[in-house]
Structure 1
Amino acid sequence: MIDHRANVKRTLFSALFFLLLSFGNKISAQDGKAIFSDNCASCHSVFKDLTGPALGGVTARGPWTDRKKLYAWVHNPAGFMQTDPYTQGLKQKFGGAMMTAFASLSEKEIDAVIDYVEKTFKAGPPTAGGGGAPAGAGGAQVIDEKDNSILYGVLTLILAVVALIMLQVNSNLKKLADEQDGIPAYEPIPFYRNKSYITLITLILFVVGGFFIVKGAIGLGRSTNYQPEQPIYYSHKVHAGQNQISCLYCHGGAMEGKHANIPSVNVCMNCHMTINEYTGTAGKLYREDGTEVNGTEEIKKIYAASGWDPATKKYTGKGQEIAWTKIHNLPDHVFFSHAQHVNAGKVQCQTCHGEIQKMDEVYQFADLSMGWCINCHRTTKVNFGGKNGDEGNKFYSIYKKYHDEIKAGTRDSVTVNDIGGLECQKCHY
């Protein structure tokens, strides 16, 4: 008699392994997109130069044809650049900006980012929709990725049916063989009562379910790409981009206080007391759904909120508060000071908020997670000055030890981490 149970078990485990492998590939693709958004998107686009070069086709350029050199560059840009003329040229091309080091990224994570970038690059740039509406706020890439969830579901069902059929065939063959040998037949244990199968299914459900539960729990409270529709259509692209209005003119609190503050309607009226119509010099305005916006009508909403009568050019006293929807939120147990970053640290608004000057309706660019903040503190260098006579930011003058080390040449830079940027009580109190 031939016992087919071992073969059936091997086939079943092979099928399950194939399914988990496919599932893992799907996760890897998603991770590549997430890692790109969290670490790369603030400086790089797939299709165009931003603060850094476009990443599309990167593996065919310069030394990046050698993946090992790419790993070395991502982990330590300053060290790699010392002996590489290609990256030295990039630094000059982009105004002396040095890429941030990402020593915490593993080679597999870098590979996932490259795979995502190359896949997006081959798909081509997104097209504008909605009758000429921009493809995405702030130059964000809108990629129509094919969802393979249905395919994986069908494959899973097929494999499950095949496994059940093979188990039934094995049971019937065993019964026939036992009858020929005169062995009394026993009632087979039903599938739903077989401890081996129950244990295997339980483990699979535990692993898959645990992954999604943990991933969902980590993402609680994060609102990346959150883009509410505001009561008055305000285009940062027109104001900060086209008209070059400084962020600090409207958000003055960012320089001196914890909060950047939403400007009062009186700040709007400083300009719109005389600017009472939108002429369209910056192009037509569109909402995210593609509908066109009448800019002049939106200005009238400002007049209604401030109680301004454009005919008599006087305030009527019948103004009302504008119910703006807050976009960026942090947990109550987290301390964050705009002044510490904007005034002392000289951090640009775009570092956290993305290319705000290219956004019409503002959306949350970064996930504002603890890991995102810590990575920035680990890699961002503060202005301590140097040997060339540059005194640097006087805010850091109390760190005499680091200044002496820089003058002596034993230290070339100081990061936020070095001055206590990773101490828990800095952000949690």
Structure 2
Amino acid sequence: MSYQRSIVKRLIFGSAFIFSLSFLVTIANAQDGKAIFNSKCAACHNVFKNSTGPALGGMEERGPWSDRKKLYAWIHNPAAFMANDPYTQGLKDSHNGILMTGFPDLTEGDIDAVVNYVNTTFTAGPGGGAKPAAGETAAPEPKSDDTLLFGVLTLILAVIALTLLQVNSNLKKMTDDKEGIPASEPVPFYRNKLYIALGIIVLFLVGGYYTIQGAIGLGRHQGYEPEQPIFYSHKVHAGINQISCLYCHGGAQEGKSANIPAVNVCMNCHMGINEYTKGPQLFRPDGSEVNGTAEIQKLYSYAGWDPDKKQYTGKGKPIEWERIHNLPDHVYFNHSQHVVVGQQQCQTCHGNITEMDEVQQFADLSMGWCVNCHRNTKVQFTDNKFYSIYEKFHEDIRNKKIDSVTVEMIGGIECQKCHY
């Protein structure tokens, strides 16, 4: 009888423990679609309005997305899906030739969760109200954190588990009293081996999870937007005035680094433009308004330029710009290789730069993000003598076994390509 009670006790404890862990794992993996959307989609997509990519609200009413299987195929491998789909080809053309990054790591359940989140958010509208009328600018989606809710639920489950253990202990005591078995001295919870083991396991799992996440995210600064010495609006320069990125960042086409333009490059235009009068109002991230003319005067101070005498004073100094994008020292990245050979647009890595005032880091620039791009990006394989040695791929294209060659297929995800 005592052996049976011991088994029952272990079953109850084990069931409660497994249920608690499975609940936590479900929370961590499912994340109700919102966390997946924020980590994977929000950098390029908004629910209500077009951004770097199209608005996702009501997507199942457009194109082929009413067929969930096609949506899975598109998200897992956009390049392969787009090869035979006119709708997604049109999407690429209408968004500056930017092809969506594939996410082969997302399961169908993850994608379903994201779609459900998008549909729910779109139906409720910004702020939980009706959808915005045509031409109306949608209000920013409020950011919420469900950590407190998850913590409360976890605490409730822990209390339930402990209550069940206590009930089991009381039942055992009642049966022992009825059978005349002398009761043993109760062991305090802080000396109970089961409680101690459970505490160690929980601490190990939680500590390990945050340690791994911290190590993976070390040095990544997605969304980083420092305040610069001069408020330089890419939206005004590259967007409204359509100044080519390569005019200021010529190194992106000619060398490894995109380079920061010298003050003289700025002065090529601002010797004659000394006031900001015709552009839109400028605002910092905190909402404070920027005086564009005063920012031009800052440029003159750094350049050592006297706008009244129209001459240099010789008292100029370098502009100490705050660096935003910074890859680890062990990573090799060549801008010209991607811009000239790979024919990638600046927006692929830097986001919709023509809509930004002060620039922020658009992508997380992780190894997984780069590898996914290499897996999906096609190379100019035919009519290119450099790739003439790949006879097998040329033969497969002629025999229509494949319709294109990706960077991955020619060794683009080999370690030494980026780490040497």
* TM-score, structure 1 as length reference: 0.82
Report the alpha carbon displacement of residue 217 of structure 1 after superposing the two structures with TM. Answer: 1.2
Going from structure 1 to structure 2, the CA distance change for 1:341 and 1:62 (only over 3 Å counts) comes to closer
Q: Is 1:219 aligned to residue 212 of structure 2?
A: no
| Pick aligned residue for 1:261 from 236, 259, 262 | 259
Residues 370-379 or 161-170, more deviating: 161-170
Aligned residue number for residue 337 of structure 1 = 334
CA distance in structure 1 between the partners assigned to 2:92 and 2:154 by the alignment: 49
Does residue 321 in structure 1 map to residue 312 in structure 2? no
Structure 2 counterpart SS, 1:414: coil
Which residue of 2 is the match for residue 348 of structure 1? 345
Tell me if 1:368 matches 2:365.
yes
1:422 aligns with 2:419: no
TM-aligned CA deviation for residue 60 of structure 1: 4.5
State how 1:25-424 maps to structure 2 within 5 Å.
25-28=26-29, 36=37, 40=41, 44-50=45-51, 52-77=53-78, 87-92=85-90, 94-95=92-93, 102-122=103-123, 124-125=125-126, 143-279=141-277, 281-385=278-382, 391=383, 394=384, 396=386, 398-399=388-389, 401=391, 402=393, 406=397, 409-424=400-415
In the alignment, the residues of structure 2 paired with residue 181 and residue 342 of structure 1 have an alpha-carbon distance, to the nearest angstrom, of: 83
Comparing 319-328 with 45-54, greater Cα deviation is found at 45-54
> In 2, distance between residues paired with 1:319 and 1:407?
61
Counterpart of 1:370, as a letter, is M
Amino acid at match of 2:413: L
Contact 1:250 1:262 in 2 (8 A): yes
1:49 to partner: Cα distance = 3.6
Q: Structure 1 residue 347: deviation in Å? A: 0.7
CA–CA distance in structure 1, aligned partners of residues 243 and 375 of structure 2: 32
Residues paired across the two proteins, number: 407
CA distance in structure 2 between the aligned counterparts of 1:14 and 1:288, rounded to whole angstroms = 50
1:69 partner letter: K
Contact 1:29 1:116 in 2 (8 A): no
- Asked whether the equivalents of residues 347 and 353 of structure 2 are also in contact (C-alpha less than 8 Å), the reply is yes
1:130 match: none
Output one character per residue of 1:120-169: Cα deviation in whole Å (capped at 9) or x when no partner. Answer: 43453489xxxxxxxx9xx9x95424322223333333443444444445
State the one-letter code of the partner of 1:205: L
Opposite residue 423 of structure 1, the aligned amino acid is: E
The Cα shift of 1:215 comes to 1.6
Deviation at 1:6, TM superposition (A): 6.3
Q: Corresponding residue for 2:134? A: none
What percentage of aligned pairs have identical amino acids? 60
Q: 1:201 to 1:77 in 2, by over 3 A?
A: same
Partner-residue secondary structure (3-state), 1:321: coil
Q: Deviations over 1:168-227 (max 9, x none)?
A: 454344434433433222212222222233323322332233222212211111111111
Q: Distance in 1 between matches of 2:92 and 2:254?
A: 30
Give, in angstroms, the shift of residue 24 of structure 1.
Answer: 3.3
1:104 positional shift: 4.6
Say if 1:194 and 1:422 are closer, same or farther in 2 by CA, change over 3 A: same
Q: How far did residue 362 of structure 1 move?
A: 0.6
- Gaps of at least 5 residues in structure 1 are 128-135, 386-390
CA contact (8 A) 1:75 1:102 kept: yes
Tell me the C-alpha RMSD between the 2 structures: 3.4
Give the whole-Å Cα distance in 1 for the aligned partners of 2:174 and 2:38.
60
CA distance in 2, matches of 1:216, 1:115: 29
Secondary structure of the residue aligned to 1:340 is helix
Q: Is the Cα contact below 8 Å between 1:5 and 1:170 reproduced in 2?
A: no
- Three-state SS of the structure 1 residue aligned to 2:69 is helix
Deviations 1:74-117 (A, max 9, x none): 3355665677xxx4244246538666654454323433433443
Return the alpha-carbon distance in structure 1 between the equivalents of residues 326 and 193 of structure 2: 49
What is the CA distance between 1:398 and its match in structure 2? 4.7
Q: Distance in 2 between matches of 1:223 and 1:116?
A: 26
Deviation at 1:361, TM superposition (A): 1.3
Task: Determine the C-alpha separation between the residues in 2 that align with 1:207 and 1:397.
Answer: 49
Q: Give the Cα–Cα distance (whole angstroms) in 2 for the partners of residues 78 and 310 of structure 1.
A: 52
User: 1:50: how far off?
Assistant: 4.8
The alpha-carbon deviation at position 282 of structure 1 amounts to 3.0
Cα distance between partner residues in 1 of 2:127 and 2:101: 28
Structure 2 stretches lacking a partner, 5+ long: 129-136
Aligned to 1:133: none
- SS for the counterpart of 2:364 is coil
Distance 1:274 1:399, change over 3 A: farther
